[in-house]
Amino acid sequence: MPEISDRIIVFDLDGTLVDSMRDLVPALNRAISLDGLPPIPFQDVGHIVGKGALAMIARAFDFHGKPLEKSRQKELLDVFLAEYEAHIADDTVYFDGVFEALDTLGTNGWRFAICTNKFEHLARKLITKIGGAERFAAITGGNTFEAKKPNPAHIVKTVELAGGDPAKAIMVGDSDNDIDAAIAAGWPSIAVSFGYSDRPVEELGASTIIGHFDQLSDAVHALSNS
């Protein structure tokens, strides 16, 4: 029986592996419509996606110049989450080249895990619906452990759950939560430039940056041999 590799690449989900803004923003717009707010354009909220649902709701209210009352936050959050879960995979797709990159890296002994601040059951539901769940040795969410990104314990425990060695892991993400977690864990990291970061990826402090998944294998090879 072949030995299972302990080298793990940990991926963030939203804005890294999948373009989930296609379903997150419509769910947001359906939620804020309860307060009479018109839809907010993708380009004006997309950079907030990685900050979570409440940040997206707050951004929508700020965009329209309307205060978000604290008493409304929970109700709107509940509506948003229900709307999102009901339509979680209507239009969400993997970014171009993901499976080809995983195939190439897999033949070179790498295994894969997902570590997202999204609720674990939502992450699993999404990956199950759009396919590819079998490719990941572990899928963890923001509620899987006590810690979540940027706390490094989140990514370290994800690798341990996947049966990997945290000392041989690489983080791939699109936001400061991902890269800060990797830096704190002492891991090399790869930032994707096509994600949902609320600031330029060049400022995140990643070990390297890629603009397409066809660059991932070379980036991983360079980092694992440096």
User: Quick check: helix, strand or coil at residue 6?
Assistant: coil
Catalytic member of 12, 174, 176, 178? 12
pLDDT, average across residues 157-164: 97
State residue 1's pLDDT score. 39
The reply to whether 12 belongs to the active site is yes
Q: Burial-class residue 160 by CB neighbours within 10 Å (0-12, 13-18, 19+).
A: middle
CA dihedral sign of residues 20, 138, 85, 182: negative
* Span 66-117, pLDDT tens digits: 999 988 999 999 999 999 999 999 999 999 999 999 999 999 999 999 999 9
Question: Which CATH number is 8-19+93-224 given?
Answer: 3.40.50.1000
Question: Is the pLDDT reported for residue 204 higher than 80?
Answer: yes
pLDDT, average across residues 158-180: 97
Locate the domains of the chain by residue range: 8-19+93-224, 21-86
Amino acid at position 87, single letter: H
Q: Which of 35-44, 145-154, 209-218 has the lowest mean pLDDT?
A: 35-44
Tell me the pLDDT of the chain averaged across its residues. 94
Question: Is the pLDDT reported for residue 3 higher than 80?
Answer: no
Q: Which residues of 99-108 are buried (b: 16+ CB within 10 A; e: fewer)?
A: eebbebbeee
The string of DSSP letters for 12-27 reads -SBTTTEETHHHHHHH
